[in-house]
Chain A
Amino acid sequence: MFETKKIAQGVHVHVHETTQFKTINFSIRFKDRLTVKNASERAILANVLQHSNEMYPSHTALRMVLDDLYGTSLYIDSTKRGDDHIVNLNVETVNDQYLSDKGVLEKVMNLMYIVLFKPNFENGLFKESIFKREQESIVQRIESVFDDKTRYAQQRMMELGLPGHPASITSNGSIDQVKQVTNESLVAAYHHMLENNEVEIYVVGDVSPELISSHIRDYFHFTDRKELPEKAESQLQPPEQSRVLEYEDMKQGKLHMMFFTPVTFRDEDFPVMQLMNGVFGGYAHSKLFANIREKESMAYYVSSSYASQFGLMFVLAGIDRKLEEKAVSLILGQLDEIKQGHITDTELEQTKALLTNQLKEALDSARGQIDIYDQYMELSEDFEPAYLIERWESVTKEQIAQAANNMSLQMTYFLSGKEEASDE
Chain B
Amino acid sequence: MNKMEFNQLEETLYQEQLPNGLTVYILPKRGFSKTYATFTTKYGSIDNHFVPLGEKQAIQVPDGIAHFLEHKMFEKEEGDIFQEFSKNGASANAFTSFTRTAYLFSATGRIQENVTTLLDFVQSPYFTEQTVEKEKGIIAQEITMYDDQPDWRLYFGMIENLYKNHPVKIDIAGTVESIQHITAEHLYTCYHTFYHPSNMTLFIVGNVEPESMMQFVKDNQAAKTFDAPAPIERIFPDEPKEAAVKERTLEMAVQKPKVFVGIKPERLDLHGPEMLKHELSAQLAYELLFGRTSNFYHEAYENGWIDESYSFDYSLESGFGYALIGTDTNHPEKFAQEVKKAIHQAVEKWPFGQEDLDRVRRKKIGFFMRALNSPEYIANQFTQYAFNGMNLFDVVPVLEQIEVADLQEAFALVSAESQQSVFTIKSPEKEQA
Contacts and interface: CB of A to CB of B under 8 A. Distances in A.
Contacts of B308: 137, 140-141
A332 interface: no
A92 B372 CA distance: 13
Contacts of B92: 284
Interface in B294-322: 294, 297-298, 301-302, 304, 307-309
B95 interface: no
A59 to B, nearest CB: 7
B367 A59 contact: no
B137 A298 contact: yes
A353 B87 contact: yes
B83 interface: yes
B241 to A, nearest CB: 34
B149 A148 contact: yes
Contacts of A22: 9-10, 369-370, 372-373
Contacts of B89: 353-354, 356-357
Contact of B373 (A147, A252, A356, A366): A366
Contacts of B363: 66-67, 70-71
A63 interface: yes
A239 B144 CA distance: 30
Contacts of A18: 31
A301 B148 CA distance: 14
B239 interface: no
A351 B92 CA distance: 14
A147 B257 CA distance: 11
Contacts of A21: 373
B83 A364 contact: no
Contacts of A356: 89, 108
Nearest to A302: B141
Interface in A341-386: 346, 349-351, 353-354, 356-358, 360-361, 363-366
A70 B369 contact: yes
Contact of B374 (A248, A284, A365): A365
A351 B360 CA distance: 45
B147 interface: yes
Contacts of A301: 141, 145
Given A22-B369, A297-B138, A146 B87 contact: no
Indicate the member of B136, B292, B363 with the most A CB atoms within 10 Å. Answer: B363
Contacts of B151: 147
Interface in A299-348: 299-301, 318-320, 346
B351 to A, nearest CB: 15
Given A356-B89, A357-B108, A248 B253 contact: yes
A93 B362 CA distance: 12
A294 B89 CA distance: 20
A300 B143 CA distance: 9
B298 A60 contact: yes
B398 interface: no
Contact of B370 (A23, A136, A148): A23
Interface in A14-69: 18-23, 58-60, 63-64, 66-69
Contact of B142 (A289, A300, A320): A300
A323 to B, nearest CB: 10
Contacts of A349: 87
A364 B375 CA distance: 9
B141 A58 contact: no
A79 B148 CA distance: 27
Given A58-B298, A70-B369, A353-B87, A63 B145 contact: no
Contacts of A284: 82, 85-86, 92
A296 to B, nearest CB: 8
B88 interface: yes
Contacts of A250: 148, 253
A98 interface: yes
Contacts of A137: 307-308
B255 A252 contact: no
Contact of A67 (B256, B293, B304): B293
A68 B359 contact: yes
A361 B255 contact: no
Given A70-B366, A251-B148, A360-B33, 5 more contacts: A19-B30, A70-B362, A94-B370, A141-B308, A361-B106
Closest 8 CB pairs of A and B: A71-B366, A20-B31, A353-B89, A297-B137, A71-B363, A70-B366, A284-B82, A350-B86
9 contacts: A18-B31, A69-B362, A93-B366, A129-B302, A140-B328, A146-B254, A147-B255, A298-B137, A360-B108
Interface of A: 18-23, 58-60, 63-64, 66-73, 92-94, 98, 129, 133, 136-137, 140-141, 143-144, 146-149, 248-252, 283-285, 289-290, 293-294, 297-301, 318-320, 346, 349-351, 353-354, 356-358, 360-361, 363-366
